[in-house]
A = this chain, B = another copy of it.
Amino acid sequence: MKNNDDKLISRNMKPTAMRELVLDALLEQNVAVSLSDLEKKFDKADKVTLYRTLKTFEENKLIHSIDDGTGSVKYALCAENCQCNPHDLHVHFFCTKCKHTYCLNNTPIPSVTLPLGFEIKTINMVVKGTCANCKK
């Protein structure tokens, strides 16, 4: 628990009970989670509070959001010192069978050359298909 507090503090957030709980939940997952996933997990907790907890985490770059095309945004932990710059970003994978969204942390987003005058700030790259688990 102390560990998680440190994570929160080092990202300039007060380590409240709610935040510890949500951070714990994120830590024990190997796939990205949505707001409604969290709602199901903590069915006593308020939806808006969870929502704001995620937003706060995101603002402080503890987690990043993934728009995987399912209609609900997913969230996953950032790497230790991530600043969410384009070169920090990795590819995400959505499995159409198990409906899980993975961070492919070892698959950086390839660089693209844009037309003249277009300036990149960030990239979202989602590959869809079947994951290693579902292929078996």
Contact = CB atoms under 8 A, between A and B. Distances in A.
Among A96, A118, A124, A129, the one with the most B-chain Cβ atoms within 10 Å of its Cβ is A118
A55 B107 CA distance: 32
Contact of A123 (B112, B113, B125, B130): B125
B93 A114 contact: yes
Given A112-B91, A115-B106, A132-B115, A120 B127 contact: yes
Interface in A83-129: 91, 93, 96, 104, 106-107, 110-129
A116 B9 CA distance: 36
Interface string A48-65: 000000000000000000
B107 A112 contact: yes
Contacts of A38: none
A122 B114 contact: no
Interface residues of A, number: 34
Contacts of A37: none
A104 B126 CA distance: 17
A131 interface: yes
A116 to B, nearest CB: 6
Contact of A127 (B69, B93, B107, B112): B112
Contacts of A130: 118-119, 121
